[in-house]
Amino acid sequence: MSIKSVIAGLFSLLAVSVSSLAQEQDSALPIRGFAIEAPSQRGVDAFVRFIEEELAPAKINLLILRVDWNFAYVSHPELRDEHPLTAADADKLAAACSRHGIRLVPQVNLLGHQSWATQTHALLRVYPEFDETPSVKTENYTKWPNPERLYCKSYCPLHPDVHRVVFDVIDEICDAFHADAFHAGMDEVFYIGEDECPRCHGKDKSELFAGEVNTLHDHLAAKGRQLMIWGDRLLDGRTTGLGEWEASYNDTWRAIDMIPKDILICDWHYERADLSAVYFAMKGLPVVSCGYRDPEISVQQIKDMERFRTQAPKETADRLQGYVHTIWSSAGQFLRSYYGTGEHRGRRDGSAEAAKAVLSYLKEH
């Protein structure tokens, strides 16, 4: 075993033990989380200061960093973004989190979100053969029928070579950030089981989605790591009235009964404090509620989770794990808004205001 592997193992054990202690100390809200895009290479020090000055005092104990292709992958250097984070940057971020008992979990969007609007992201740009819908081009994105004409490409979960690449990326990013868990995204999967895919054509979409969740879960579990995903594809958008973005219109929702019960579900709702976390918990899945840019709704989601945990049977309450606040701008843009610096000085920013409200509430509770 290499020295790097030993160090990675020690980091993971320390993070787990400290996180477990924090959860024991805060039975009202075991998980107090924050999810944001990983900083740029030159923004690492500023982000470490944010961890020290804001996240730690709020007793945040889970930080999900959307790394995606912003890392200097050795296993697949062809997938690197320009000016990616290095292993040393990952060490610095992991060390800052470890000092404060924060479980650091990297995220790479898998299955869905392989493009956005007119931009195809690295995986399908480099490996176009993995594309579930190769005939749909990002420069004339007209297939997805919504008023904004936006969509997110997917990779084909049945392509015989896709997991060779995906597993390499997962393993490397988890090792780099000394992580005992991995967030696979998997939200807003609009393209799955498409007619033009020779492998997925005619197959049950819920079984395809569950199959990919299970494949990722089993790979991580074999290495002692937990899988986390967003929850929207596991909700029936029509029956619940949650719609096609926060829930599924393409029949993936039945997958909720086909996946392991140790996957942490991140249940995001941004326009209302919807109560679907209870549904996930009653299905046997650990779950956190997730808010974003509305201060009142975000704080209400925390209070609802605290209330659920006091009023539900113990078996259900134990699965209602807490709250993760999400940020969907770049880390640099968010920090400028949060601290009111540069071009953001004096400007109102809903996501920054919501984050301040959430962190303030958590500091006091």
Nearest-angstrom CA–CA distance, 115 and 121: 5
Question: Could you give the maximum distance between any two Cα atoms of the chain, in Å?
Answer: 55
Nearest-angstrom CA–CA distance, 130 and 114: 10
Helix (H) or strand (E) holding 174: helix 162-176
Q: Which pLDDT score is estimated for 7?
A: 42
Q: Which pLDDT score is estimated for 117?
A: 72
Residues contacting 299, CB < 8 A, separation 6+:
357, 358, 361
Kindly provide the residue ranges of all beta strands, DSSP E only, lying in the chain, ordered along the sequence: 31-37, 62-66, 103-110, 115-116, 119-120, 181-185, 226-230, 264-268, 287-291, 320-326
Identify which of 45, 193, 211, 36 has the alpha carbon closest to the alpha carbon of residue 107. Answer: 36
Model confidence pLDDT, tens digit, residues 178-209:
999 999 999 999 999 999 899 999 999 999 99
Nearest-angstrom CA–CA distance, 235 and 255: 9
Model confidence pLDDT, tens digit, residues 225-275:
999 999 999 999 999 999 999 999 999 999 999 999 999 999 999 999 999
Q: Which pLDDT score is estimated for 135?
A: 81
Report phi then psi at 40, rounded to 5.
-70, 170
Q: Which pLDDT score is estimated for 116?
A: 82
pLDDT: which is higher, 119 or 263: 263
The token pair at 280 is: 């996930």
**Structural domains of the chain, with CATH:** 3-364 (3.20.20.80)
Q: Which pLDDT score is estimated for 141?
A: 58
Model confidence pLDDT, tens digit, residues 5-62:
444 444 444 444 444 444 344 578 999 999 999 999 999 999 999 999 999 999 999 9
Nearest-angstrom CA–CA distance, 206 and 259: 11
pLDDT average, residue stretch 159-175:
98
